[in-house]
Chain A
Amino acid sequence: MAELLQQVVIGLSSGAIYALLALALVLIHRATGVVNFAQGEMAMFSAYVAWQLVQWGSPYWVAFGGTLVLSFAGGLLLQRVVMRPVENAPVLTIVIVTLGLLLVFNGLATWLWSGEVRTFPPNRPFPTRTFDIGGVVINVQDLGIIAVTVLLVAGLWAFFRFTKAGLALRAAALYPESSRLVGIRVGWMLGVGWGLAAALGAVSGMFTAAAFPPLEPTMMQAVLIYAFAAAVFGGIDSPLGAVVGGLTLGVFLNLVGTYADDLQDLGFPVDLEGLRLPVAFVFILVLLVARPQGLFGRASARRV
């Protein structure tokens, strides 16, 4: 039982990382109807930026904050410079543009920092202690990641719900024409949306580097797939769904990995441990075939 709880906590921690990236995907999709395939690579790039700031001598949390600001600015700039020229193009064209961005960021990270594996010592976000609650051993880092994620998600929710800027963002996403009539600069709102998504992705990237070292250009590729699974699980337009989906997926995958051996002993034909990615896919596929709009999505009915 203790072991189960431990694995659940670890699962929640990796799930939080997926949830953050999934939230970024949902944010951009809600605002612009576009799936940003480059989200993972942008997150990876932000993690490298953080690493570089640490190399130049700044303490971890200063670098963290700095990276958030830089990522926000970067996301904003990307929307204004790269996405705006194609905003009236067919959706598939826009998706391929994001694929192009994926290639650019991947290449840029390799070019600037080479493919060497690096880690984030000596600064780490959280101390590597563990503590013991009644027999359950919990890692401070896992708790820290979960806590920061909860804070961020709550903060984002409060921003959208209670501030004027958040309201403007929501309006721009839902009713761009009406928003323009009211004086909202829709273009810049979309940019802010991209900026926020980039910042969320940056957190996901930095935590991935901390929780799943080493830091390398391919580190976010699997995370992106899991984030897609999480976003789709919740229904691609639901932020709550993305968070719940991410956490659930994290726990599910971790438990599968932990108990794969036991499953095999019970006669299960395949060794699931190395197959986390296909398992995640099967998970999405089964879910989608059963409920195409995701758990939290609304079934869209089209009017004739």
Chain B
Amino acid sequence: MASNSLLLARGARLAGVGAFVVGVAILPRFLSDFRASEFARVGIFFIALIGLNILTGYTGQISLGHGAFMALGGYTSALLIAGRPGLELAQLDPPDWIPVGNGMKDIWTIPIAAFVAGLFGFLVGLPALRLRGLYLALATFALAVSLPIVLREPEELTGGTNGLNLFGTTDDRLTGALDNAVHIPVLDRDITFNDWTYYLVWTTALIGLAIAWFVLRGRSGRAFKAIRDSEVAAASSGVSLASYKTLAFGISAAYAGAAGALFAIVSTIVSPGSFPVFLSIQLLIGVVIAGLGSLGGLVFGALFLYYLPVGIQELSEVGRLPDGLQDAAKSPGMPSVIYGVVLILVLFVLPRGAAGFLRRLLSPLTNRL
């Protein structure tokens, strides 16, 4: 019966999510310390992709500027962690009216960074209402290009081109230095810095995923999907386009801000160069590879974003290709070519992204015959 197949699909989905959560929780046990730090970075991409997917996949607004929101979150977090004492240590002297505070524990800066970025995203979403498609892409691209320059200028606050080094702070604000083990008071255990960052990132990611899932399941989610499917029909049905579109911008920027804050904590340093234009482009590539409009493929998108450049680099340095090819792989320019070719080939195979592929795979479970 139809309801049986629906139950089966729902069961399968729940089982999948459950397995995912358990997998994430126990993975570090099987991984080397280095891999844990790699997966932490995958998680950072994952969080940013959740947000961008809500914007582009669910309301259809293209953004080539989400790197800027990450930058905002990263700098907010760095400034808050350093606090006035930390900035003074770095010989910076920000103006008095900026509420930098006296240094804050890193975990609490994440929601604050998300809020700041989200607010900014909402503000960007307002003029964005007038633009669509290529025009919106261009405007957000302008944002991505300009924000690093804007962040570089007020040197007394942001450290200029050199950025902010979170290490210049006292250790009890930034939990654990790279060499020391991190002590978790609650569980009374010591874990390495890399493992700690892994858990921090993925806990945030799972919380973010849960929030996204709830939002998308509810009224806002339905409004988003309606807007994506047909703005005219949505408006005719009483969905306020302006409210939901700007809301989507705000939410997606908040996710990017959280990702940026985590990036700052994991890298322990932020500078204008940490958030280049290519980052924004990568995020868009990531959501398309993941598959727009559903949460299923996002892990794949994040893995793709992180591991493709890494894999290409490894291939060109230590790869096991026959000699002639190996030389070619090492030469400048080749990594770009390989990245581009792989990207195109992946899209040939998965034009609707990983989620689209999953949908096609699982459709026998959900289709009525």
Contact = CB atoms under 8 A, between A and B. Distances in A.
B139 A96 contact: no
Nearest to B135: A288
B344 A82 contact: yes
A304 interface: yes
A101 B340 contact: yes
A160 interface: no
B152 interface: no
Nearest to A105: B340
A107 B334 contact: yes
Contacts of A102: 340
Contact of B288 (A93, A107, A277): A93
Size category, A interface: 35 or more
Interface in B149-173: 149
Interface string A37-72: 000000000000000000000000000000000000
Nearest to A34: B134
B49 to A, nearest CB: 14
A97 B337 contact: no
Given A89-B352, A108-B333, A288-B135, A103 B340 contact: yes
Contact of A96 (B130, B131, B146, B347): B347
Contacts of B145: 277-278, 281
A217 B145 CA distance: 19
A110 B135 CA distance: 30
A103 B337 contact: yes
Interface string A250-289: 0000000000000000000000000001100100110011
A106 B339 CA distance: 11
B292 interface: yes
Contacts of B127: 289
Nearest to B278: A103
Given A96-B284, A96-B343, A99-B285, A107 B336 contact: yes
B142 A281 contact: yes
Given A99-B281, A292-B131, A110 B344 contact: no
B336 A110 contact: yes
Contacts of A289: 127, 130-131
Interface in B303-360: 328, 331-341, 343-344, 347-348, 351-353
Given A93-B352, A102-B340, A232 B130 contact: no
Count chain A CB atoms within 10 A of each CB in B145, B333, B347, B353 and give the residue with the most: B333
B113 interface: no
B340 A288 contact: no
Contacts of B252: none
B62 interface: yes
B331 A96 contact: no
Given A107-B333, A107-B334, 17 more contacts: A86-B347, A96-B284, A97-B344, A99-B281, A99-B340, A101-B340, A103-B340, A103-B343, A104-B344, A106-B333, A108-B333, A278-B142, A281-B142, A281-B145, A288-B130, A289-B127, A289-B130
* A-B complex: 4 closest residue pairs judged by Cβ atoms: A107-B336, A110-B333, A103-B340, A111-B333
12 contacts: A88-B351, A92-B292, A93-B352, A96-B343, A96-B347, A97-B344, A100-B341, A101-B344, A103-B336, A104-B340, A232-B134, A289-B131
